Every structure is written in structure tokens, then in C-alpha cells.
């Protein structure tokens, strides 16, 4: 069958650029009739056109419109590996619609264009077969002029979910069949193709233009006074170059009698110079992200509005590059990249990852029989996207191992388009790539790569010439900082290393958006396994910097801070460093403010002289403090847009920094210690009422409470869980019994003015444990708790138990009435932060409800911690409640469910509010890392098993 053979297509036109033409066009999007067959053998030879069947919205996926179900896998094919054959159970959808040909439609021919069909399809027009095509995320065009009729016409399309092409499309995503991009009828083009060569000479400032197109065509750029014949090269004395920082485009036309094609031309030159990727003579640095096309309701059938929203968010969060993982995007997306300014790695629709389960036996990449199909995909991408100045690298594929066919792809690409570089990460010889690249590289390995002292890969060990070439290549992290669930941690550590060495030209975080699907009528986003399928990738698709509804996650907020293009350091003087490559900082304003204990007391504008790309300036600011000010003094400096940009309004923050200033020491009131009062059954110390036998605090300033009690456990994050057992710190924690700790009271000691409760906390079945001592003292109108935590026993492991070197957290947990749901704090905020994900937290005063403190991860897990909290207040609607201060500062978490509830939940609807608010007041938590697909938290950010001491000071608020 055609869907099982190795023929890329039948009846298709040669690939060409995606052009905006004046010739008539007719959109065939909209409502189509639809019928689904579970086996193509059951379908009639030609689709049976009937009115008594279902309907679909096109572009769209039938599995998201009530027919069959979506499937998600990361690496595994959801069918037996037997290339190029597919199973009999191959969902096949027949689509048809009638359309009326306009009366004034030209009589000289027509082209039927499909911008994306997953995964193989056959087309009929008015009952006559037109052709077939594979390559889901690539265009296919057919000449259909002779088949058109005046008036009413019938278009029929049969789509197979599985085909030989599916073996090339194992791209860590939902398998979503259907006609998911535009369908368009085009009047036959008189200008069949256009190839724009627009180079920029950074030494002279001149541009060179050559437009390859139909003979007799005229090229015009009115703004530059250009009117030349196609095929004629012209040098333009002065042009403004295109870059992601300054995306200068010139409107142009290519015209012949009867057709005009509109172009937007950007002048720029891509070159490898001295072992580095350069554009317009300057080395680039990628602050990038990998982007799948995804919409929570529409799957990969994205609207242009959603594409623009993605790019606006990228620009607003300081990203400058996108890798179109792992296929060419909708062509309108690249138009927007040209317009708004992002560097693009355009990736071929090619990944054979599932062959890892055969040890790469049968991998198409190394089978010459597959070369035509692979080259067809590369050609269609390059030809479609060749006129976009934003596209500077062609990526041959993703995670498809090694193979001679990549040499074919790279050779053709370099010959067809020598003006761009070629990229491929997975072949460790890099003989076909202009870059050395890896994924999820540990920091120590990244340091070695930066200094060119990395280990020799086995693929080049026996070929000195190939190894010499590889070691001379620039390095790009194709993927890093896996953004799954709460994380990624360690972004700042990566950025410091990446910026330290010229060879390291940046990287691309994995990935842009969670792939959660929101089905009709549902409230939870679904992921792999939610449809009862046996082979699936679980929630590995929930790994984005955006939540499925395109709301930025804390990970994106952190990434924005880490990759700021302006660095602000020091206070006397303040240093402003421009990390941009091409543009000065004259589009920014700098403002400053001084705060005392989080309250602004002074503010102004910072006068900053011109700062060119790569340059720094020093600016002085009078920071004299009023002599009567007591409290923490902070200086905050912000860089904001001076005027509106296409992607943000004036005042949008680009960068900020915060500095602690010398502060007057607070006055020590030396409050009088209150006595311990013995009553029947309980003890009273200041505002605390304690159980006489257990020392448990029962009421705090009249508020019923449960706790505080030592807590070492957290609901595991996706990164705590690791990947397939690798780097799973939670395994170590569970082996040490941290998820099943039992508390025993050993002694309740009452002094005249102090209550001491000594406990041992340990799991069943093990000898290790923790001695936790609670020391309570009443100080004036406050109640102070000092906690001493001392580990004992076999934390280093035994002959039969593994070592446990870290704790998830160390602090106390307590429950308070659910009415205390208003939270005000002074410390890090406004969003959540952890040991290795805290760059975006700035010191201030913040107000949230308990519900607003939660981070809505698709899969519930530890979240919502606020860091460096000096004090926090929990109050009811009348302002009554409690205040807690830390010594030192603490991490605050407040939620309506327990950590155990979080751990058991698989979707947000699994969480039900309890009758209390549960507080965690932590001295510290373990870092996040990115071990869901990468390294764990580094030793620097690990919470080591060690003795700890910390204090909390409680006080009444209001009239409670």
C-alpha cells in the first residue's frame, strides 16, 4: 500500500517557497464531513461521499473532536517496529467537502496546497485521484487545474494515522492525526518560486541583493530606490541590517504581468569565523528555547494569534532564539520571527528515536533505501523557508542516531543554500554538522567543553582529522534545563558557565509549553496514560516554561531573570553592562528606588550614558541614608522600555537588580520572659497553651493549631523523581524512610520560664533518625520557638541500606484554621522560589490569598514556597490572626492540603480543600535540579543531612 512504501509522494509539485501572491486564492478551511475507519482495509477504494456522517473543523485533529483518542509517547513507537510496515489497526479518516469555484477564477490552472497533514494522505478532486503525500509538518502541492469545474467541486482526502513516514516522526509529542494546517486552492502561479539572497557587509555597511525567480520578473524595494531585473545582483551602499535585536525589514515586490509577490527582506550574513557562528561579523549567543506547536484544545492546529502570543511572550521574557523542535513550524510563525526578531534553528521533520529499542537496528538514517524520503523532507523545509532572515541554521533532524543519509541531507543543503549553517546534535562525530552539540550536559562537562578539554567521543577516537575538526567547532546546548513540573533548577549556574567561554554560544531550554490537552467539558489537562493506553510516556510531555493555557510558569520567570541582556551590578558605583550583540541601550530607561523593610522611601531616574553592545558604564548615585531610618535598606535598579515596541508597552521591565545597603541595627527591646503556668492538663507559656504530657502546642494566642512539628518530607517534584530511575533523589529519601517518619516524645521539661520538648523522629524498620528539640520561651507579647535538629544513626548507609545524604526539607509543619487565608509577608517574592531557582525573587512586601500562593502544575507536586521570608502574617477577613518571624529567615508554604495529599494526586482535581491551612516554615529545602531529564541538584544546592538550628517568633494580630 502507498502508506507503507518508501515513496515520499505521488503527483506532488516540486517544493517551493511559501509566498504571498496577488493571484486569487480560496481557503478550504472550515467544516468538513468525516468518517473514521479503524482499518484501512475496511474503507472503500474511494471515500463514500454521504451526508449522514460526522463533521470536523479543519484545520484540526479528529482525535480532539470526538473520534478515537490521542496518544502520547516520548520515545516508543505506539505500534510494532517493523519498518516500513504499519499495523492493520491503522485509524483512517475520510474527509470531504464541497466548495464553489468563484466565477472569476482564472482559467489557466490551479494548485491545491496542504500545509500539514498527519501522517499520510491521498487526494481526490471531483472523483479523480490527484496524488499522495507523507511528511506531516511539511507542505504538499498538487496541480489540479484540469480537474476543476465551474461552480460546485468535491474535494476528498483520506488520511492514515500510521504510515512509513511515522518511523521518521517519533518526536516526543502527542500522535495527532488529521488535516491540521491550512488547505488552500491557489490560482496557478506565474512566479513559481523566489529565492532571496540578501547579504550584509559589516565592514562597509552595504548590502548585496540577488533574487532568483521567474525570467522577466522585476524586483522592487521602494524604500531603497531599487528596481532591478530578477537574477541581477546589486550592491546597495547603505542598508540597515536585520538581527534579532533590531529586526529591520524592507518591503519588496517581485512582479510579472498578472502576478505580484510581496516580500519582506532582511539583510544579514551568516558565517563561521574563527570557530564561531557569526551574523553580520559578530559571534552570536543564544538565549533560546525549544518549541513544539501545541494548543491545549486544538493540538497542533495553532492559530496565528497563538503563534504571535508565543513570540510576544518570548520577547517579553528576554529570549532571542527558538529551535523549532522537532519539525518546521507553520510558515506564519517564521513570518512573525522575521517581524519581531528571533534567531531560528529550523528543524527537519525527522526523528527516529524509537529505534533505541532495537539498538538502532533498521534505523532509517543509515539505510540508503530511506534516503529519498529523508531528503524529500529536507528539501521541502529548505525550499519553503529559505527567504526568512530569522532562519540562520538548518537542523537535519533530532535524536536519530548516526547514518550515511545525513551526509546526503547536509551535502544537498549546503549546495542549495551556502548562506546558512547546518546543525545536528545526535551524531557524535559531527562530520555533517557545523556545531558540536549535546543535551542536558552536566556543568563540569560544560566547563571542559568551554576550555576544549572535553573527553574524546568514541566516534572520533580512531579518526584524528575528524576529532580535530570536532574540537574546533563552536558548541551549542541543543536542549538543557528540562522544565518539567517544579523547575528547572540551576539555570543561573548554567548561564554563568555558558557566558564564561567564547566557544559556548548558548543553548535552548527544553521546552516552551506543557503539552497538556483540555478535552471538551474537562477541567483537568490530560497526559499519557489518561486514556488507558498501555504504551505511553506518562506526564513527560508536561515539561514546558508555559502552562498549557500559555500562562508563564515560575520557570519562565526565572529564565527571564537569568538571561537578562543587561547586567546591573554594584552600588558605589553602579555598573551597567550591555550583553547585547548589536544594539545599544538607548531604547531603555533606568529607574531606581530605595526601600526600608520593603517600603519605598525614595525613587528616581538613573541617568545612563550611551552603552554600546558589549560595553559597560559606571554610574554614581547618592545613597545617603536618613540618620533616623531603622530597618533593612535596599536599592532596586530597573531597566525598562522607554517606548512601545511591537511586543511590549513602554515601561516593560527588561532587567533589574537589588542590593542590600548598610542599615542601622534594630533596637533591642529586651522583653521580659514570661513564666510557665501550670494548669489542669495543660501548660501556659505566654500566648501558647501546651499539652502537659506531650508538650504539643494546642492553641496559639487563642487560635487552635496542630503543630508545629518537625517536617523533613515534601511531595516529590518531577525532578526529584528523576527519569526512569536515573538521578532519582526521591529513591534515596524513600529508602531512608523520610516519607514515613514517626514522632516520639522523649521528655517534656518545664523550667520556670522555658518549656523544652525533646523528641526522636525516625522511620519504622531503620536505625537512623533525628533528635528534634523544641525550646519555647515567652518574650513580651511574643512566643519564641528554637528548634535543634540533630541526625543520628546510619545516614551514611549500611551493608543493606543505601546512603542518604540529603533531606527534602528541614522545618516545621503546622495547621491553622482555614479562615486564616490571607497571607502578607516581607521577603522574597512575588512568586515561588527554591535554593537553585531563586534569581527572580526580589525582597519586598507582598499580599496573596492562600489559593493564590499555589502554583497550578498539571501534575501536583511540591510548589509555592516563598524564600528569604523575614516575617509572614496570616489573617482572616477581619484582620485577626498570627504573625511569624524567622531567625534566620525562613521559607514559607501555605496550602489547603497536606504534602501527602499532593503526593497522591495525579491531577489538580484530585486535591480537595481540608478544614485547615497547612503551613510549612522551613529553614531550607533541597534544590530542584532538572533530573527529570538531566542532572540533579548540584551539591551547592543540596540540603545536606547535618545538625540544624533555627528560630521562629510568633505574635498575635488583631483582637484574636
Distance of alpha carbon 215 from alpha carbon 683, whole angstroms: 98
Q: Kindly state the percentage of the chain with pLDDT values over 70.
A: 99
Beta strands in 579-661 (DSSP E): 588-596, 599-606, 616-619, 633-641, 653-661
Q: Kindly state the percentage of the chain with pLDDT values over 90.
A: 96
Residue 504 has pLDDT above 90, yes or no: yes
Q: Cell 525516625 appears where?
A: 762
CATH number for the domain running over 195-271? 2.60.40.10
CA angle, corner 261, sides to 257 and 264, nearest 5?
A: 145
If we measure between CA atoms, which residue out of 444, 514, 507, 509 comes closest to residue 482?
509
Strands 504-509 and 286-290 come out as parallel
Beta strands in 144-214 (DSSP E): 151-160, 169-170, 173-175, 178-179, 183-187, 195-201, 206-212
Distance of alpha carbon 27 from alpha carbon 112, whole angstroms: 10
Could you tell me the sign of the dihedral formed by the alpha carbons of 317, 323, 324, 326, in that order? Answer: negative
Mean pLDDT of 575-585: 99
Grid coordinates representing 147 are 480537474
- Among 121-135, 574-588, 789-803, which stretch is predicted with the lowest mean pLDDT? 789-803
606 — pLDDT class (breaks 50, 70, 90): very high
Could you tell me the sign of the dihedral formed by the alpha carbons of 101, 104, 110, 114, in that order? Answer: negative
Question: Can 195-271 and 562-592+599-648 be said to share one CATH topology?
Answer: yes
If we measure between CA atoms, which residue out of 804, 811, 691 comes closest to residue 757?
691
Q: Where are the domains of the chain?
A: 9-187, 195-271, 562-592+599-648, 676-957
- 490 forms bridges with which residues in the sheet? none
If we measure between CA atoms, which residue out of 247, 250, 227, 229 comes closest to residue 238?
250
884-887: long-range contacts (C-beta < 8 A, 24 or more apart)? 884/921, 884/952, 884/953, 884/954, 884/955, 885/952, 885/953, 885/955, 886/921, 886/950, 886/951, 886/952, 886/953, 887/950, 887/951, 887/952, 887/953
Could you tell me the sign of the dihedral formed by the alpha carbons of 77, 934, 895, 688, in that order? Answer: positive
Give how far Cα 56 sits from Cα of 69, 100, 404, 611, 858, Å. Answer: 15, 19, 42, 55, 28
Give how far Cα 394 sits from Cα of 18, 194, 207, 244, 268, Å. Answer: 17, 19, 23, 17, 16
Question: Any residues with CB less than 8 A from the CB of 521 and at least 6 apart, and which?
Answer: none
Q: Could you count the other beta carbons within 10 Å of the beta carbon of residue 38?
A: 13
The string of pLDDT tens digits covering residues 896-932 is 999 999 999 999 999 999 999 999 999 999 999 999 9
Provide Rg for the chain, Cα atoms.
32
Residue 670 has pLDDT above 90, yes or no: no
Q: Specify the 3-state DSSP secondary structure of 865.
A: coil
Looking at residue 388, its pLDDT comes to 99
Strands 504-509 and 475-480 come out as parallel
In contact, 346 and 395? CB cutoff 8 Å: yes
Distance of alpha carbon 865 from alpha carbon 847, whole angstroms: 14
Looking at residue 628, its pLDDT comes to 66
Peptide bond preceding 66: is omega within 30 degrees of 0, i.e. cis? no
The string of pLDDT tens digits covering residues 159-213 is 999 999 999 999 999 999 999 999 999 999 999 999 999 999 999 999 999 999 9
Q: Specify the 3-state DSSP secondary structure of 183.
A: strand
CATH number for the domain running over 9-187? 2.60.120.260
667 — pLDDT class (breaks 50, 70, 90): confident
Looking at residue 932, its pLDDT comes to 98
Distance of alpha carbon 793 from alpha carbon 253, whole angstroms: 78
- Per the annotation, the verdict on 399 as an active-site residue is yes
The string of pLDDT tens digits covering residues 692-748 is 999 999 999 999 999 999 999 999 999 999 998 889 999 999 999 999 999 999 999
**DSSP character for 285?**
-
CATH number for the domain running over 562-592+599-648? 2.60.40.10
**DSSP character for 899?**
H
Looking at residue 625, its pLDDT comes to 63
In this prediction the pTM is 0.97
Looking at residue 601, its pLDDT comes to 95
| pLDDT, averaged across the chain | 97
Grid coordinates representing 784 are 519564641
Three-state SS string across 379-429, please? HHHHHHHCCCCCEEEEECCCCCCCCHHHHHHHHHHHHHCCCCEEECCCCCC
Residue 762 has pLDDT above 80, yes or no: yes
Residue 485 has pLDDT above 70, yes or no: yes
351, 383, 431, 479: the catalytic one is 479
- 941 forms bridges with which residues in the sheet? none
Distance of alpha carbon 233 from alpha carbon 212, whole angstroms: 10
Task: Tell how far CA 581 is from the center of its chain.
Answer: 24
Q: Specify the 3-state DSSP secondary structure of 17.
A: coil
Looking at residue 376, its pLDDT comes to 99
Distance of alpha carbon 344 from alpha carbon 330, whole angstroms: 13
Grid coordinates representing 259 are 502576478
Looking at residue 261, its pLDDT comes to 98
Residue 627 has pLDDT above 60, yes or no: no
In contact, 342 and 315? CB cutoff 8 Å: yes
Mean pLDDT of 637-662: 98
Burial label, 369 (beta-carbon count in 10 A; 0-12, 13-18, 19+): exposed
In contact, 773 and 761? CB cutoff 8 Å: no
Distance of alpha carbon 65 from alpha carbon 70, whole angstroms: 10
399, 425, 431, 873: the catalytic one is 399
In contact, 480 and 441? CB cutoff 8 Å: yes
- Distance spanning both ends of the chain, measured CA to CA: 78
Question: Any residues with CB less than 8 A from the CB of 389 and at least 6 apart, and which?
Answer: 198, 242, 247, 249, 265, 266, 267, 268, 338
Residue 304 has pLDDT above 60, yes or no: yes
626 — pLDDT class (breaks 50, 70, 90): low
Looking at residue 458, its pLDDT comes to 96
CATH number for the domain running over 676-957? 2.70.98.10
Amino acid at each position: 500500500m502507498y502508506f507503507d512504501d518508501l515513496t515520499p509522494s505521488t503527483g506532488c509539485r516540486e517544493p517551493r517557497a511559501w509566498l504571498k501572491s496577488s493571484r486569487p486564492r480560496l481557503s478550504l478551511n472550515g467544516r468538513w464531513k468525516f468518517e473514521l475507519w479503524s482499518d484501512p482495509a475496511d474503507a472503500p477504494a474511494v471515500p463514500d461521499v454521504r451526508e449522514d456522517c460526522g463533521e470536523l473543523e479543519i484545520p484540526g485533529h479528529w482525535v480532539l473532536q470526538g473520534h478515537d483518542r490521542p496518544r502520547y509517547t516520548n520515545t516508543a513507537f505506539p505500534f510494532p517496529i517493523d519498518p516500513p510496515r504499519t499495523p492493520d489497526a491503522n485509524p483512517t479518516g475520510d474527509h470531504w467537502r464541497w466548495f464553489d469555484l468563484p466565477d472569476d477564477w482564472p482559467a489557466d490552472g490551479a494548485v491545491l496546497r496542504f500545509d500539514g497533514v498527519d501522517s499520510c494522505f491521498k487526494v481526490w478532486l471531483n472523483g479523480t485521484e490527484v496524488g499522495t503525500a507523507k511528511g506531516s509538518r511539511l507542505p504538499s502541492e498538487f496541480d489540479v487545474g484540469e480537474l476543476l469545474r465551474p461552480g460546485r467541486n468535491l474535494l476528498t482526502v483520506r488520511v492514515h494515522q500510521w504510515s512509513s513516514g511515522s518511523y521518521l516522526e517519533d518526536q516526543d509529542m502527542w500522535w495527532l492525526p488529521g488535516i491540521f494546517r491550512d488547505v488552500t486552492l491557489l490560482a496557478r502561479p506565474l512566479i513559481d518560486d523566489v529565492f532571496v539572497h540578501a547579504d550584509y557587509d559589516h565592514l562597509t555597511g552595504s548590502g548585496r541583493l540577488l533574487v532568483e525567480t521567474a525570467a522577466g520578473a522585476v524586483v522592487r524595494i521602494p524604500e531603497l530606490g531599487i528596481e532591478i531585473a530578477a537574477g541581477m545582483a546589486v550592491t546597495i551602499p547603505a542598508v540597515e541590517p536585520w538581527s534579532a535585536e533590531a529586526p529591520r525589514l524592507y518591503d519588496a515586490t517581485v512582479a510579472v504581468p498578472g502576478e505580484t509577490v510581496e516580500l519582506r527582506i532582511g539583510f544579514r550574513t551568516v558565517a563561521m569565523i574563527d570557530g564561531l557562528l557569526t551574523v553580520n561579523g559578530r559571534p552570536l549567543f543564544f538565549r533560546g528555547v525549544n518549541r513544539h506547536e501545541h494548543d491545549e484544545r486544538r493540538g497542533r492546529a495553532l492559530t496565528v494569534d497563538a503563534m504571535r502570543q508565543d513570540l510576544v511572550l518570548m520577547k517579553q521574557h528576554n529570549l532571542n532564539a527558538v529551535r523549532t523542535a522537532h519539525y518546521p513550524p507553520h510558515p506564519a510563525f517564521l513570518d512573525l520571527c522575521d517581524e519581531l526578531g528571533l534567531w531560528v534553528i529550523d528543524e527537519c521533520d525527522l526523528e527516529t528515536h524509537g529505534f533505541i529499542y532495537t539498538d538502532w537496528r533498521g534505523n532509517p538514517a543509515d539505510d540508503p533505501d530511506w534516503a529519498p524520503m529523508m531528503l524529500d523532507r529536507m528539501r521541502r523545509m529548505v525550499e519553503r523557508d529559505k527567504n526568512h532572515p530569522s532562519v540562520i541554521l538548518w537542523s537535519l533532524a533530532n535524536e536519530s542516531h548516526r547514518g550515511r543519509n545525513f551526509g546526503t541531507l547536509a551535502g544537498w543543503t549546503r549546495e542549495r543554500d551556502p548562506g546558512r549553517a547546518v546543525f545536528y546534535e545526535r551524531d557524535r562525530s559531527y562530520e555533517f554538522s557545523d556545531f558540536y552539540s549535546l543535551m542536558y550536559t552536566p556543568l563540569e562537562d560544560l566547563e571542559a567543553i568551554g576550555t576544549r578539554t572535553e573527553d574524546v567521543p568514541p566516534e572520533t577516537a580512531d579518526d584524528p582529522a575528524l576529532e580535530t575538526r570536532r574540537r574546533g567547532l563552536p558548541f551549542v546546548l541543543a536542549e538543557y534545563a528540562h522544565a518539567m513540573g517544579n523547575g528547572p533548577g540551576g539555570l543561573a549556574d548554567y548561564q554563568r558557565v555558558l557566558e564564561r567561554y567564547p566557544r559556548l554560544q548558548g543553548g535552548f531550554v527544553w521546552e516552551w509549553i506543557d503539552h497538556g490537552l483540555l478535552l471538551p467539558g474537562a477541567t483537568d489537562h490530560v497526559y499519557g496514560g489518561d486514556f488507558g493506553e498501555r504504551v505511553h510516556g506518562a506526564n513527560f510531555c508536561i515539561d514546558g516554561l508555559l502552562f498549557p493555557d500559555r500562562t508563564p510558569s515560575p520557570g519562565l520567570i526565572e529564565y527571564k531573570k537569568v538571561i537578562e541582556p543587561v547586567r546591573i551590578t554594584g552600588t558605589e558605583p553602579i555598573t551597567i553592562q550591555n550583553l547585547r550583540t548589536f544594539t545599544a541601550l538607548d531604547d531603555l530607561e533606568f529607574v531606581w528606588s530605595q526601600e526600608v523593610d520593603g517600603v519605598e522611601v525614595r525613587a528616581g531616574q538613573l541617568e545612563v550614558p550611551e552603552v554600546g553592545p558589549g560595553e559597560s558604564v559606571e554610574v554614581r548615585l547618592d545613597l545617603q541614608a536618613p540618620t533616623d531610618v531603622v530597618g533593612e535598606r535596599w536599592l532596586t535598579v530597573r531597566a525598562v522600555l522607554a517606548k512601545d515596541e511591537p511586543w511590549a508597552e513602554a515601561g516593560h521591565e527588561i532587567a533589574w537588580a537589588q542590593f542590600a545597603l548598610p542599615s542601622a541595627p534594630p533596637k533591642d527591646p529586651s522583653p521580659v520572659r514570661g513564666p510557665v503556668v501550670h494548669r489542669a492538663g495543660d501548660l501556659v507559656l505566654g500566648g501558647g497553651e501546651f499539652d502537659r504530657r506531650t508538650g504539643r502546642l494546642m492553641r496559639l494566642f487563642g487560635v487552635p493549631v496542630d503543630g508545629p512539628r518537625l517536617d523533613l518530607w515534601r511531595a516529590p517534584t518531577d525532578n526529584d523523581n528523576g527519569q526512569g530511575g536515573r538521578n532519582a533523589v526521591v529513591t534515596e529519601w524513600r529508602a531512608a524512610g523520610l516519607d514515613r517518619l514517626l514522632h516520639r516524645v522523649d521528655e517534656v521539661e518545664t523550667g520556670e520560664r522555658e518549656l523544652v520538648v525533646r523528641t526522636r523522629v525516625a522511620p519504622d524498620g531503620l536505625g537512623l533518625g533525628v533528635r528534634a528539640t523544641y525550646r519555647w520561651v515567652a518574650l513580651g507579647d511574643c512566643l519564641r520557638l528554637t528548634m535543634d535538629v540533630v541526625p543520628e544513626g546510619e545516614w551514611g548507609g549500611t551493608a543493606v541500606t543505601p546512603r542518604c545524604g540529603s533531606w527534602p526539607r528541614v522545618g516545621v509543619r503546622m495547621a491553622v484554621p482555614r479562615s486564616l487565608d490571607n497571607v502578607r509577608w516581607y521577603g522574597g517574592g512575588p512568586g515561588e522560589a527554591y535554593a537553585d531557582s531563586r534569581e527572580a525573587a526580589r525582597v519586598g512586601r507582598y499580599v496573596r490569598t492562600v489559593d493564590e500562593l499555589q502554583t497550578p502544575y498539571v501534575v501536583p507536586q511540591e510548589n509555592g514556597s516563598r524564600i528569604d521570608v523575614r516575617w509572614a502574617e496570616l489573617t482572616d477577613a477581619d484582620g485577626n490572626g498570627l504573625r511569624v518571624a524567622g531567625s534566620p529567615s525562613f521559607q514559607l508554604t501555605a496550602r489547603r492540603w497536606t504534602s501527602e495529599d499532593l503526593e497522591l494526586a495525579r491531577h489538580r482535581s484530585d486535591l480537595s480543600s481540608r478544614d485547615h491551612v497547612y503551613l510549612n516554615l522551613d529553614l531550607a529545602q533541597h534544590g530542584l535540579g532538572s533530573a527529570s531529564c538531566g542532572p540533579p541538584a548540584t551539591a551547592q544546592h543540596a540540603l545536606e543531612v547535618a545538625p540544624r538550628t533555627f528560630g521562629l517568633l510568633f505574635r498575635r494580630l488583631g483582637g484574636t
